[in-house]
Structure 1
Amino acid sequence: MAKRQSLIRHCSLFSLDPVPTIYSRLRYFHVQQDIHDIDNKLIATLCNSNRATQPNGGESPTPPPAAARHTLRSLQPESQEMITSLDLSSFFHARAFSGRAFPSPFSSCTVCCSTGNSSTVVVPSAVSGLESPERKAVRLGLPSKGRMADETLNLLKNCQLSVRQLNPRQYIADIPQLSNLEVWFQRPKDIVRKIKSGDLDLGIVGYDIVCECGEGSNDLIVVHEALGFGACRLSIAIPQYGIFEKIHSLYELSKMPQWTKERPLRVESGFSYLGQKFFKERGFEHVKFQRSEGALEAYPAMGTTDAILDLVSSGTTLRENNLKEIEGGVVLESQAVLVASRRSLNMRKGALEITHEMLERLEAHLRAIGVVTVVANMRGNSAEEVAERVLSQPSLSGLQGPTISPVFCKRDGKVVVDFFAIVICVPQKELYKSVQQLRSVGGSGVLVSDLTYIFEEETPRWRRLLSELGL
């Protein structure tokens, strides 16, 4: 806090401009009252044109006097609400302008204090758009880095919802196909927390993160629970050696006499909420959670913990560190999910419509994965005759049945029908068998193409969401 206070040099309005960023990290303090009620000295600092002429003829803001700096200190969390920090260093390519007066009156302002340099900017919320109840855009949070981030972007791209990021260092982007939508890149845990706080409306994260950081919040709704990537399980692992050598189940672990009030079972994990809830429900009386992030497999060998609770995919890392999973020790199965704020879906204009389109595209694309369209021509006297031949083969029934249509050609000046076109959808793994069966009943000129979407009459998850919202 003292460091942040010491960095305050000047206050000015900024406008978005593609020039080098002036911050490395911003902290936001939202003042929930009219600025004129805060402090007259602060008003003078914020609204007056404090200018100093430079030798080159330019202008720069004059640092406020000590009294004014003290009034800025009065805006610290003891006297107002502190908003969780956002990593927006690359989004705000901003230039500070001195001598710009704020619109007056306005209902709130945001004090932005950089922890990376001495610049401080105070911006009306109506201008900054941050934490403003009047914000218009719907916000979607996506993972900012790692495999989860890459797979999320790939999925959206395959759904023809490509994320447009003008600069790879920026933390904000958009999806041109979805108007009025902002994409914010954040850590998965921060995505869930910001959905809970109302800073984000939607997010794509692992189900494990939703359960851990959501902490049973009724505001969080899992809109799509199976996006098809990031599959893992949150599981308990113990050493393969020592006192655990003959322990193979959670029940056996709970009955070990070593665990007492003075010497509880020590569990290393980054999932303290889920872990404590799980052990309590399983009847463990003496458990101590030690919170850690990353490389948990090393702690049992160091002697600092007895067990770990971590995400497991293949289990290879556990085995290579002489650890083992135990029967009954899986807390939950997880994969990437689309999660939303109940409050936003009910109250944020456009949020429900954007969610509907995203859900439709996601479901239709995921349904189309592994399915191809096969088109072939076949001689026949009628569509019914061709249909009988096609349906005599077990792999040619398609989704509901083959589509058969006449192929018109001109012979001797007359339009005739000698061929019929057959269109069917088949699983990709059965493609070759389907082609062979088509040939066996007279099919030729076989064309194969991938599918992007398979839209059903109505999206089941959409009906479920409307029911959840009481709509």
Structure 2
Amino acid sequence: MLRIAIQAKGRLNEDTMALLADAGIDVAQSKRKLIARAKGFPIEVLYLRDDDIPQAVHMGVADVGIVGLNEVAERGMAVDEVMRLGFGACRISLAVPREVDYPGLQWFEDRTVATSYPHVLRQFFADKGIHADIHEIAGSVEIAPAVGMADAIFDIVSSGGTLVQNGLREVEEVFYSEAALIARQGLDDDKLADIEKLKFRFNSIVSSRGYKYVLMNIPTALVDRAVQIVPAMRSPTILPLAAEGWCSMHVVIAEDVLWEKVERLKELGAEGILVLNLENMIP
């Protein structure tokens, strides 16, 4: 049986629990439990702080974990990245007070930078030849310049709203992160086989995101032209209708081009167009 470490609370916990549920893995949630058994897959769930997950996987306390790549990079633990999961996207960036005239990275020379990610920042500055005083802070990094603790900060940025509220502006994007499935190195063949099964389920869910399943009725004579508009993953499914001269076309379309494609199909002569959500898509 696999043991998976996940974030005990927070946004990654919510997204991870939703992913497990979509993969047919039912986990009984309890704020008082450290470990929970699951139904639908031979796995048990270990609830931890996100910054403890890389170490737990490295030490073998858990076989696999779901955690942000920022935590993996900061902890520096030897673990394998199995797959990226497409949620929890953010970046770790350098930010300076809004009024600062920022000429480039050299501005940070001999400055004090507050961060919760000293390892990642130290490596970045070393690569760029910048010598700065890195001041580690456990939380509320964004207030450091305002209270005189630092000249700038290095912190997670999602929308950038928190920076604006604290009179800061982002000047350098250093590290991109998202949630990933990680695994302990040196697992036995049985556990590796279970990880592949888990990865297969997760892949089918991640692959379906950003796509819609579209059905429409279209005159048979226009099918070839419609196929040129929506070539689909391999090719659309075409089924004859009871009405002579008409058929039904089934196709998967990426969300970012969905409405442009639907409008062109409508202009071509398609009718009764249905747009449905995809739960799983197995490549």
TM class by shorter chain equals: 0.7 to 0.9
| 1:356 equivalenced with 2:219 (yes/no) | no
Aligned to 1:437: 265
TM-score by length of 2: 0.87
Q: What is the RMSD of the two structures over their aligned residues, measured on CA atoms?
A: 2.6
Aligned to 2:152: 307
| 1:155 equivalenced with 2:19 (yes/no) | yes
State the 1:335 CA deviation: 1.1
| Counterpart-to-counterpart distance in 2, 1:375 and 1:325 | 44
Aligned to 1:210: 72
Aligned to 1:319: 164
The structure showing larger relative contact order (alpha-carbon pairs under 8 Å, at least 6 residues apart) is 2
| 1:298 equivalenced with 2:143 (yes/no) | yes
Q: Which of 194, 216, 221 is the equivalent residue of 2:56? A: 194
- State the one-letter code of the partner of 2:33: Q
1:300-449 pair list within 5 angstroms: 300-326=145-171, 329-344=172-187, 347=188, 350-378=190-218, 386=220, 389-393=222-226, 394-407=228-241, 420-428=247-255, 430-431=258-259, 433-434=261-262, 437=265, 440-441=268-269, 443-449=270-276
Q: Which of 260, 277, 280 is the equivalent residue of 1:450? A: 277
State the 1:447 CA deviation: 4.1
| Counterpart-to-counterpart distance in 1, 2:95 and 2:70 | 17
State the 1:183 CA deviation: 0.8
- C-alpha change, 1:448 and 1:296, in structure 2 (3 Å) is closer
Aligned to 1:184: 46
State the 1:302 CA deviation: 1.5
Aligned to 1:230: 88
Instruction: Check conservation: 2:236, 2:249, Cα contact below 8 A.
Output: yes
TM-score by length of 1: 0.55
Q: Which of 66, 74, 80 is the equivalent residue of 1:221? A: 80
Instruction: Check conservation: 1:278, 1:331, Cα contact below 8 A.
Output: yes
Instruction: Check conservation: 1:391, 1:397, Cα contact below 8 A.
Output: no
Aligned to 1:251: 106
Q: Flag structure 1 segments of 5+ consecutive residues without an equivalent.
A: 1-136, 260-264, 380-385, 410-416, 457-471
Instruction: Check conservation: 1:138, 1:350, Cα contact below 8 A.
Output: no
| Counterpart-to-counterpart distance in 2, 1:426 and 1:233 | 29
Aligned to 1:239: 97
Instruction: Check conservation: 1:275, 1:309, Cα contact below 8 A.
Output: yes
Aligned to 1:414: none
% of aligned pairs identical? Answer: 28
State the 1:318 CA deviation: 1.6
- State the one-letter code of the partner of 1:342: Q
Which secondary structure does the structure 2 equivalent of 1:229 belong to? coil
State the 1:368 CA deviation: 1.3
Q: Flag structure 2 segments of 5+ consecutive residues without an equivalent.
A: none
| Counterpart-to-counterpart distance in 2, 1:247 and 1:424 | 50
Which secondary structure does the structure 2 equivalent of 1:274 belong to? helix
Query: How many residues are matched?
Result: 281
| Counterpart-to-counterpart distance in 1, 2:161 and 2:142 | 11
Instruction: Check conservation: 1:395, 1:434, Cα contact below 8 A.
Output: no
- State the one-letter code of the partner of 2:179: A
Instruction: Check conservation: 2:58, 2:185, Cα contact below 8 A.
Output: no
- C-alpha change, 1:148 and 1:296, in structure 2 (3 Å) is same
| Counterpart-to-counterpart distance in 2, 1:408 and 1:316 | 56
State the 1:436 CA deviation: 6.5
- State the one-letter code of the partner of 1:404: I
Which secondary structure does the structure 1 equivalent of 2:9 belong to? coil
Instruction: Check conservation: 1:143, 1:186, Cα contact below 8 A.
Output: yes
Q: Which of 115, 124, 128 is the equivalent residue of 1:282? A: 128
Aligned to 2:38: 175
Instruction: Check conservation: 2:65, 2:183, Cα contact below 8 A.
Output: yes
State the 1:154 CA deviation: 1.9
- 1:224-275: CA deviations, max 9, x gaps? 13x222111111222234xxx2224212332xxxx3xxxxx32221112112
- State the one-letter code of the partner of 2:258: E
- C-alpha change, 1:374 and 1:281, in structure 2 (3 Å) is closer
- C-alpha change, 1:389 and 1:173, in structure 2 (3 Å) is same
Instruction: Check conservation: 2:116, 2:141, Cα contact below 8 A.
Output: no
